Amino acid sequence: MAPTLYHSEHSAPSRSVLLTAKELGLKLNLKVLDLANGEQLQPEFLKLNPQHTVPTLVEENGFAIWESHAINSYLVKKYGKNDSLYPKDLKKKAVVDQRLYFDSGTLVQRFSTLIKNLVAGKTKVVPKSDVDSIKEAYSFLETFLRSGDYVTGNQLTVADFQIVTSIFSVSFFVPIQADEFPRISLWIKRMEALPYFKEVNDNGIKLYKDIMKSKLEQLEKEMTITLYFADASPPARSSILTIKALGLKNVTFKRVDLMQREQHKPEFLKLNPQHTVPTLVDEDGFTVWDSHAINTYLASKYDEKSSFYPKDLQKRAIIDQRLHFSCGTLFPRIARTFVGLLFHPEAGISQESIDEIKEAYGFLEKFLEKGKYIAGNELTVADFSLATEVVSIVYCPPSPDEFPKITAWIKRMKELPYFDEVNEKALQILQALVNPKPA
């Protein structure tokens, strides 16, 4: 009577056993377990395998063994016509064992960490640390393949079945590029050429990808970035522009009524003791405030092309300079004027305030000599910060004759599909402060 294999099609370890059985010409009595419905937790299965994992192999005499690496070597020893898949020669066997332990202890473990980090962080973006870790594992495998066509040399072994099924799972998240890992790419093609490979793997891989896509979609639904903002705040609007530019979904915007001092409530002070807006709470609970810090954080984390906040040190330094100009020069000058209008409207707007703004415009005009945008020829987070500030200066807008580059730049920013939408309500509020309606 054939051994019974409890398995799941989407399980890479299960498929490694099926590949081994096919190569051995061994017929198995296959029993599929519905893991999603917890069939592996049923009492009768737990008697066979208290770890409740697949695959699990049961012989006719009741002998049960689980863990695919152990199953594969066992099957070769018992049913193999020769020892080519799992050599008896001690040195050759040791190399195969090393590759099997590499699969279970390195490749699979790093993949497990990647999955845990995705779930814990509620993000479908694989953290760079995990990408680097997986790629290091790929580099080890690339080195193994220097010795021959297969992972232990020129002979196909159970280590190939084990690792290739793992690779198909891992590469869904960290793809293998042929130019970066040429030996792995050729080895995969070699494995796919086995007459039974597609029969064993195609449906299982499709099921696995469908499950992973569904889980990622669910994670995306659960992902919630929260931005605390106030309509009239230029810094808050710059963060909203950044979010729009990055195409971030599932963002919750929470309006803070500054005049009612909601920013001083205990629950808000726990998030931000400086009680300022904007304040960002990321998916994993990480909290940061100050729009410049928020915007560079968001761009660094979610901009795959790194265009809004480039990694190039010199480009980033220029953007940082513009952001500090926003924080330390332009915004304080704007804020002083509006705070004065809010609490002492009778005082009006001083000539000193106008002169300060025009001096700042002069600096901006100089910045724009370098390109179409504030930090060169590429749109960056510096544009979002400074553009929201400039359009907020409704009491002294830049004159096209005096500041043509600023005028052209603002026109360019307004062409962004989300720019006016983000700023429109705020400008109405600010205009009302400058030109209050008679009582």
Catalytic residues: 11
Amino acid sitting at position 8: S
Instruction: Say if strands 225-229 and 251-255 run parallel, antiparallel, or are unpaired.
Output: parallel
Nearest to 75 by CA among 107, 32, 27: 27
User: Does residue 252 contact residue 226 with C-beta atoms inside 8 Å?
Assistant: yes
What CA–CA distance (Å, rounded) separates 282 from 284?
Answer: 6
Nearest to 371 by CA among 380, 362, 358: 380
Using a 10 angstrom Cβ sphere, with 0-12 exposed, 13-18 middle and 19 or more buried, the burial of residue 216 is: middle
User: Does residue 434 contact residue 349 with C-beta atoms inside 8 Å?
Assistant: yes
What CA–CA distance (Å, rounded) separates 216 from 185?
Answer: 26
CA distances from 318 to 115, 157, 376, 377, 383 (A): 37, 55, 9, 12, 12
